[in-house]
Amino acid sequence: MSSGDDAARAEAQPNDGRDGGNQGLADTTENTSAEAEEPAKAEEVAKNGFRGRPTAYTEVDGLSERYPMNHRPRGSALIFAHSKFDNKSLNPRPCAAHDAEIARAAFKALDFKPEVFFDLTRNELLRELQAVSKRDHSGSDAFAIVFMSHGEVKTRNNMEFVWAKDDKIPTKELWINFTAERCAGLAGKPKLYFIQACRGPDVDKGVNMSRAVRGMAVQTDSIEEYVIPIHADQLVMWASYPGFPAFTSKRKGIQGSVFIHYLAENLKDYANTSPRPSLSSILLKVSREVAVLYETDIGSDNQYHENKQVPYIHSTLLREIYF
């Protein structure tokens, strides 16, 4: 093939494509005919934009480094605490009421409107999440969920679940209703999820660390349009690393879940400081304190004796959060 043919072929290729993949299904004959058989889709595209992209409205500049925090209350903070379970193989969680109260107080101190729910069934939980996603969130700056229960992992596919009172749900159900295309009122706003639940049975005995000592002790009148991914502006913080358990304690001033204790303590403490630090720095301190200050004391005959725990964060936040 001539160099001219190569150049023509290269020019015909799209500038962007899926790494390691084929062109999108939208360009295939099979998908085109499927769309032709569903004329109703054309109306949806006309309403929502190219390929059904919905439109949401925001006050924030696309490259702003901070999320705006201008409302009181900041938004809703849903706290789901589970203490009793129909499945008798699941131990009761007597710390649930205590953990729910310290979480409620922490988010109230940050100017959220906390709502506490105890021992919801699977259907009640899913209905509540769907109902909240349909509220008018236009007057909110952010949204939060704190979920406390037992957790479970399917080893076959590593799919994670959390338990309601009577049944389990995939963990992703906690946030799936609040993505940008399903809940336009929260599009472009931070959505925060804090999950106290075990993520597996692995053991973490930690590593001894020895410190080496060296030496001596705007505002604009123009309208900007930009597009964000549907899963942007989301932070999920689990109590423990994937595959590992989360612990409760009645030592060192802790009266329930270790993660919830340090999370609530730091959120409430920093709510009273001025200026308030960024949420990322607060959560970094939470992780550090859980990892360094806590170690289980269950008894030497238990595999989880002298075990460590470290929280785990998955974030698609685009900006810093300063409450």
DSSP, residue by residue, 88-128: TTSPP-TTHHHHHHHHHHHHHHTT-EEEEEES--HHHHHHH
**Gap between the Cα atoms of 84 and 164, Å rounded:** 9
What's at 8, amino acid-wise? A
Buried/exposed 240-250: b ≥16 CB within 10 Å, e otherwise: bbebbbbbbbe
Q: Is beta strand 256-257 parallel, antiparallel or unpaired with respect to 312-315?
A: unpaired
Q: C-alpha angle with apex 262: 257 to 268, nearest 5 degrees?
A: 120
Closest by CA to 98, choosing from 118, 78, 113, 114, is: 118
Q: Which of 82, 150, 183, 261 is catalytic?
A: 150
Determine whether 198 is an active site residue: yes
Return the closest-CA partner of residue 229 out of 27, 60, 56. 56
The residue assigned the tokens 């403490």 is: 269
Before 68, cis peptide (omega within 30)? no
Query: Are β-strands 248-249 and 256-257 bridged in parallel, bridged antiparallel, or unpaired?
Result: antiparallel
What is the token pair recorded at 260? 């919830």
- The encoded tokens of residue 74 equal 């900041």
Residues 6+ apart with CB under 8 A from 277: 270, 322
Active site includes 150? yes
Peptide bond into 54 cis (omega under 30): no
What is the spatial distance between Cα 170 and Cα 182, in angstroms, rounded to a whole number?
18
Spatial distance between the Cα atoms of 150 and 91, rounded to a whole number of angstroms: 9
The one catalytic residue among 82, 95, 183, 198? 198
Q: Which residues are catalytic?
A: 150, 198
